[in-house]
Chain A
Amino acid sequence: MTVAGMAPREFLTDRLMLGLVALVALVLGMPSLKPLFATLYPGLDRPLYEAESFVRLTLDHMALVGVSSLAAILLGGGAGIAVTRPWGREFRGLLETVATMGQTFPPVAVLALAVPVMGFGSEPALIALTLYALLPVVENTVAGLDGVPAPVLDSARGLGMGPAEVLFRVELPLAAPVILAGVRTAVIINVGTAAIASTVGAKTLGLPIIVGLNGSNQAYVIQGALIVAALAVVIDAGFDRLAGWLTRWSQR
């Protein structure tokens, strides 16, 4: 699907396309907005954040969100599957408690606790974000698998599917929409939390925001926040698209 191939109306109502265009324009075009910010904030010496390029910050931000979300999906999804198997059932309460605790911690506290152990940089951020994304993934994996109707499972086993066949052909496809909703929540939360991770030295889009807040430079704050917002819109719209595909795929 190319931009050129779309009718104007179709393009204007496509959240994903609009978001992508806005994101790319903001990331690449921020330097050319320097005169605008200079006019808006005449009192500032440096109206544009230039210590790092926005391209670099955006890519790092996305990498941090991507890696931590992937880790959360693998860990949380795996744990969610494990505690819904006969052999893992007894750990279900424990897992749910741990995942809930992970989320009741404020992100800043998790970051602050991780620093003494791991030092400054993106490692503590990665840990904090992964822990943070775990709950929605675990919760929705368990809920999704629980939601598979008992007669469907009974038939699947009764017709001679083995445990792996029941899981991959019946349970996961039927639970997929619910699991995906959990992943979506996790990723969106992480886009925001990754910004806060700049406080422990991870270079993300939070950096201009933190620097701006410390130095009373509102222009920096706005520049960082705008891109974070555009990124969140793109990811959210991307998940909408994915949910649509998934429905069609699981019915094949």
Chain B
Amino acid sequence: MIEFERVTKRFGSWTAVDAVSFTVAEGEFRVLIGPSGSGKSTVLRMINRLIPADEGAIRIDGEDIASLKPEELRRRMGYVIQSVGLFPHWTVERNIATVPGLLGWPRARIRDRVTELLELLNLDPRRYRSAYPHQLSGGQQQRVGVARALAAEPRILLMDEPFSALDPITRASLQTELSAIHRRTGTTVVFVTHDMDEALRLGDSIAVMDHGRLIQCASPLDILTRPASPLVRDLVGREEWGLKRLAVETVGDRARRQESTTGEPLAAETPLHRALSEMVARGTERLPVVDGDGRPAGVLHLSDLVRPDAGGTA
């Protein structure tokens, strides 16, 4: 658990972070979003003490981080940045092994862990273990960056616009992988972005910052349907609002459980905008739904997508 209590950071006379308070629960995926210069990176870098706070308290699992050795604190957290920052003179294996090496893990354990992580991030260990960063594509480098951050099984993962330099397809596949990793490991994630679609897609909760202040901290659905200020509304954007609205709920949330129909079923966790796309593609207004075990879980009707009682409008 991460707690900020009226945390302030000034650079000269400029207040980059202004009395910010929030809590990130154990295992939560928290996204920080806001315009450029709003203080997102500063907040993130205060969590691992790369930037010291001027005022207020930051606690991890109830412990004030000011009382911990910075190096020990950081080794317990993963850290990923947009420009990746892989060590160019080390192989992929040694890059990933950085924190386990600092923690003094035995060689065999490090080796196994590297293999496991390369597989987890869809990089063939035989091919990439001994490669140097300059031999990898941007997307592969970022995968190694994520693997390096996860290496010592951190309880907290800090990510500063990790995917923003990647092309849309690579970004989407890394987002999917990150979501899966988060679900599997239960790691607490703090993820900075300025892409609202990415925020809506990944976050359990989204914190919106502006001029060093926290404007709103809410679930993706509430950010969409109950924006706290015009800025939040602008960040969401009016364009394709309806599709974004659909994207934050799943087929399972709206399916009519008692009914059944024929056809290729959709998984219950499919986002609703995908379901709409399927209906258009198949030329149908009804789709069968199955749960995680493949058992029938009802039918989704086209009209369910615009059901007025299921959340607000723009």
Interface residues of A (CB under 8 A from B): 149, 151-162, 165, 170, 173-174, 250-251
Contacts and interface: CB of A to CB of B under 8 A. Distances in A.
B4 interface: no
A154 to B, nearest CB: 6
Interface in B62-82: 70-75, 79, 81
B88 A174 contact: yes
Contacts of A155: 79, 81, 84-87, 145, 148
A159 B99 contact: yes
Given A149-B85, A160-B75, A170-B87, A154 B50 contact: yes
Given A151-B81, A154-B81, A160 B87 contact: no
13 contacts: A152-B85, A152-B86, A153-B85, A154-B81, A154-B85, A155-B86, A156-B87, A158-B50, A158-B74, A158-B158, A159-B99, A160-B73, A160-B75
Given A152-B85, A155-B81, 17 more contacts: A151-B81, A151-B83, A152-B86, A152-B88, A154-B50, A154-B85, A155-B79, A155-B84, A158-B158, A159-B79, A160-B74, A160-B102, A162-B71, A165-B102, A173-B89, A251-B89, A251-B91
Contacts of B148: 155, 159
A149 B88 CA distance: 10
Contacts of A162: 71
B48 interface: yes
A156 B84 CA distance: 11
B98 interface: yes
A242 B148 CA distance: 32
A165 B103 CA distance: 13
Contacts of A158: 45, 48, 50, 74, 79, 81, 158
Contacts of A173: 89
Interface residues of B, number: 28
B128 interface: no
Most chain A CB atoms below 10 A, which of B74, B91, B132: B74
B11 to A, nearest CB: 16
Contacts of B72: 160
Given A250-B89, A251-B89, A159 B102 contact: yes
Contacts of B70: 160
A157 B83 contact: no
A241 to B, nearest CB: 19
A157 B89 CA distance: 17
Contacts of A149: 83, 85, 88
B281 to A, nearest CB: 42
A251 to B, nearest CB: 5
Interface string B95-109: 000110010000000
Contacts of B48: 158
A158 B84 CA distance: 12
B241 interface: no
Interface string B132-145: 10000000000001
A152 B134 CA distance: 13
A164 B217 CA distance: 39
B51 to A, nearest CB: 11
B90 interface: yes
A162 B90 CA distance: 18
B75 A159 contact: yes
Contacts of B89: 173-174, 250-251
A138 to B, nearest CB: 23
A198 B71 CA distance: 53
Contacts of B149: 159
Contacts of B158: 158
A159 B81 contact: no
Contacts of A159: 74-75, 79, 98-99, 102, 148-149
Contacts of B79: 155, 158-159
B69 to A, nearest CB: 9
A251 B71 contact: no
Contacts of A153: 85
The 3 A-B pairs with the shortest beta carbon distances in the complex, nearest first, are A155-B85, A151-B85, A160-B75
Contacts of A154: 50, 81, 85
Interface string B40-64: 0000010010100000000000000
Interface in B152-166: 158
B84 A151 contact: yes
